[in-house]
Structure 1
Amino acid sequence: MRAMQVGMVAVALESAGGSARATVVGADAAEASAPNAPRPGQVSLHTVVPGTPGRTTARTTAGMGNGAARNFSFAACQAQLADDPDGTRDYADDWQDHGGGAEAEYCGALADMALGDVGDAAATLDRLSRVAHWPQGWVAPSRHPPSPPVPSPSVPSRAVTASRGDITPQPAGVVGGGQQNGTQAGIQDGTQAGPHDTPESLRHRAHVAEEAARAWQANDSPRQALDSATYGLWLDPHDMTLRVIHARLCVDMGMAQQAVADLTPLPGDTALRVDALVTRAAANRALGHIDLAATDIAAALQLSPHNVAAELECGILHERQGRMEDARADWQQVIALAPDSHEADLARQDLSLLEADPAAP
């Protein structure tokens, strides 16, 4: 049996408020990161939170003459993140020292992610997703996927383990991310939807849980990633981006039947639908439903003819059907379309295995 190459959820610090979230669910080259868009009229949580232990940074204090407090904002955090993640990290620490609370921590977590400290970012984002009632006036992120430099969806190569059972979104009391070590001073333990949560704050928390899931997966922590995605779906069961992420994680962890359930019905958005079709095809393949998987891949390639994740999965299905030359052509197409991608690496591995043992599916 061929070795399985497990796809991983890509970490994307996504843009919101009019631009969309990256919804790809695979691993590839590193991407540029962008946080949530400014939130007009937002009110920060004015709970003082200690800075990150052990971190020593030079704090920028421009504009703070005569002890006057700086005017901190998430918009300012966002504005400098892409160009200066180190400076953004310092800004977040300074903001925390001046009572920034959960929003300052969120800013810092996004900076950590941009700097590659995905483990720290994941733990913080997971905990913040459990803080009840984020500021009123926050605008929920758009559900239309953008086209940033984000890793493309990857598909488990060759074989996927059999389903081990279902997992469903659990109540908010479930501890996710494996990092619930208590709350920091002054921040409410948000392991339940608080009495003041609004539909907007619940969507906001679900979005933060999604970012936590991406960060956990980038940190090679699939169980914590699944916990965060499951919690996010409890907060917002209609978030289709989270549903696709949850399904991909289920495929990777051998819970293919749950992945199929997650993606039935499919999302309406075209780009997200392609990701969902590729993921559901991988799940059906794992369940031995090759014809259903082939139908989904054909639909994905019709919507996105040069989607490398779909081409990779198409090759795997052709191999399973004994169509070795078609499989070889599919994998060569993946390499031609995106030679530096994660999918191309998997295609090269599959081609090597095919050359070594042409008769083995």
Structure 2
Amino acid sequence: MPRLPSFHHSRCTATNWLLALAPLMVASVPAPAADLTNDAASYERCMDTARKEPEDGFEMASVWKDHGGGLPAEHCAGVALMGLKQYALAGDTLETLGKEMVREAPSLRAEVLMQAGEAWLQAGQPAKARADLDAAIGLDPKDPSLLVARARALAAAKDYKAAKEDLSRALAGGAPRGEVLTYRAAANRLQGELSAARKDADEAVAAAPNSADAWLERANVRRLQKDDKGARADWIKVLELAPDGPAGDAARDNLAAMDVHVDGAAKP
């Protein structure tokens, strides 16, 4: 299934995070903390560094944490660890943070636990991802993005039926149609339910015509339905939309495989 958006799409903005945590933080930090203080600008600076230069961001977060940065510094460190591909450490950091935020708004805690779930999923531990996402949904049951995230964890554990149930609930809750229908098409395909997968994939392409993931999923379904002409057209569309991303790479590989005979000779 396609990946979740990266952390920079998070609702944990500098303003709402710092306002929520204000009662827990000191007024300022000593100079050795690279001039970081407990305000929105410092959090934004740390997070921006963590996303763009994760090694520097982790160092900044560590120094800030040692000088009173508190929970925002912990969050910055967790995001930096994701950028460093230290997924298990990131999951542990973000999960602990989400549990420690007992005085904060449930929606903010749920957001951090969702990020922990993403980290565990990247670490190849879908059971831990699901546990954090279960907790997140318990905190903020009306947020459909949490259901989408849990569906990915369920699919990683090959529980496609439960994944589809979450995706259907997310769709009813107002989640982006193109994204959710693409995910559900993938879950149907992986269950071998190609007619349902095709219906979802067709609707995903109609709802999000600029989504390379939607076109890629429909191409995959068409190929399984032995509609090679349709699959080729969709993979070419993927290359038009996202030639350099993961979807483009997958489309290119599939087109190359299609253009090779069983005996290994290239088609004219």
TM-score w.r.t. the length of structure 1 is: 0.61
Alpha carbons of structure 1 residues 221 and 36: separation in structure 2 relative to 1, 3 Å: farther
Cα 1:134/1:92, change in 2 over 3 Å: farther
- 1:82 matched to 2:48? The reply is yes
Q: Secondary structure at the match of 1:130?
A: helix
Query: What corresponds to 1:128 in structure 2?
Result: 97
Correspondence 1:211-360 to 2 at 5 A? 211-265=115-169, 266-267=171-172, 269=174, 272-356=176-260
- Compared with structure 1, are the counterparts of its residues 337 and 14 closer, same or farther at alpha carbon in structure 2 (3 Å cutoff)? closer
- Letter paired with 1:82: D
Specify which of 6, 24, 28 is matched with residue 45 of structure 1. Answer: 24
Distance 1:75 1:217 in 2: 30
Q: What CA distance in whole angstroms lies between the structure 2 residues aligned with 1:283 and 1:89?
A: 36
Give the paired residue count. 252
Shift in Å at residue 10 of structure 1? 4.8
Tell me how far apart the structure 2 counterparts of residues 306 and 256 of structure 1 sit (CA, whole Å).
Answer: 26
CA contact (8 A) 2:46 2:60 kept: no
Amino acid at match of 1:38: T
The answer to whether 1:105 aligns with 2:48 is no
> Aligned-pair distance for 1:46?
5.2
1:73 paired residue number: 39
Structure 2: which 5+ residue stretches go unaligned?
Answer: 263-268
SS in 1 for 2:15: coil
Alpha carbons of structure 1 residues 108 and 125: separation in structure 2 relative to 1, 3 Å: same
1:87 Cα deviation from its structure 2 partner: 5.7
CA contact (8 A) 2:34 2:60 kept: no
Which segment is superposed worse, 91-100 or 338-347? Answer: 91-100
Residue 92 (str. 1) matches residue 61 (str. 2): yes
Deviation at 1:341, TM superposition (A): 1.2
1:105-156 deviation digits (Å, cap 9, x = unpaired) = 2232234334554443221001111225234xxxxxxxxxxxxxxxxxxxxx
The CA distance in 2 between the partners of 1:287 and 1:116, in whole Å, is 30
Paired residue for 1:148? none
TM, length-normalised to structure 2? 0.79
CA RMSD of aligned residues (A): 3.0
Taking only the aligned residue pairs, the percentage that are identical comes to 30
Higher relative contact order (CA 8 A, sep 6+): 1
Name structure 1 gaps, 5 residues minimum: 1-5, 17-34, 48-57, 63-69, 136-200
Instruction: Give the distance between the partners of 1:253 and 1:77, measured in 2 at CA.
Output: 35
- The aligned counterpart of 1:60 is 33
Q: CA deviation at 1:357?
A: 6.0
* Match in the other structure for 2:8: 13
